[in-house]
Amino acid sequence: MIGEARELTVELGDRSYPIYIGSGLIRGVGQVFRDRDFPVQAPVLLVTDASVANLFAAKVEESLTGAGYHVTRAVVPSGENSKSLEMLDQLVETALKAGLDRQSTVIALGGGVVGDLAGFLAASYMRGVRFVQMPTTILAHDSSVGGKVAVNHRLAKNIIGAFHQPEFVLYDLDTLSSLPTREVRAGLSEVIKHGLIWNKEFVNWCEDNVERLLGLEPDALGYALYEAVV
């Protein structure tokens, strides 16, 4: 457990991994790297998009460098168009220039677009390196868990991809407060959809707590995301 995080485990035998959900978790990411024995000498690539970079990248870097890691930031344009082979090619170039090796880690800091793109980079660079998910949208509660990673082809979405599980998922609820209302509503509707399929009581709870959820109250949101991921 880090700080006040809710923690759950994705059970995959010796590839099981934790999901941390809570407020203020970004500042602990360096410590999680140390606790989980990520090698300090191996460079880390932080992949993020232009909107998210301005908001949170410096905090992630500060935590990692404070724990002794060398981090290179790669910023892609915000939006679905970044899930492309052209962008992957640019990221491979950045990774090579930054000296990423087989012991290295690729971090996805952003929504589902960054998660899918950075995840596919991690799955394919040197035939697979460590991958960490730091989701910053509500919708990414779905995309950051399960290991499905992909880029688009001009003829089809998500058509070039792989399964590559993260080492851990760190979901800092504080990052969600800058989300545009449209993204909040779209993400919450996915959370409720999960409940409609799996858990009627949870749907009732969402109904009773809709104002708290729309107001992004950390307690309510943390519980809802936990239930949606379980």
Residues near ligand NAD (CB under 6 A):
49, 51-52, 55, 78-80, 83, 110-114, 116, 136-137, 139-140, 142-143, 146, 148, 158, 175-176, 178-179, 183
H-type helices in the chain, by residue range?
29-35, 50-52, 58-66, 85-97, 112-124, 140-143, 181-198, 200-208, 210-214, 218-229
Q: Is 187:138 a contact under the CB 8 Å cutoff?
A: yes
Q: How many CB atoms lie within 10 A of CB 210?
A: 13
Q: How far is the CB of 10 from ligand NAD (least distance, A)?
A: 13
Q: How far is the CB of 62 from ligand NAD (least distance, A)?
A: 18
Cβ proximity to ligand NAD, 52 vs 100, nearer residue:
52
Lookup: tokens for 26: 């970004």
Task: Work out whether strand 130-135 and strand 105-110 pair parallel, antiparallel, or are unpaired.
Answer: parallel
Cβ proximity to ligand NAD, 51 vs 124, nearer residue:
51
Cβ proximity to ligand NAD, 36 vs 193, nearer residue:
193
Using CB atoms, what's the residue nearest to ligand NAD? 112
Cβ proximity to ligand NAD, 41 vs 189, nearer residue:
189
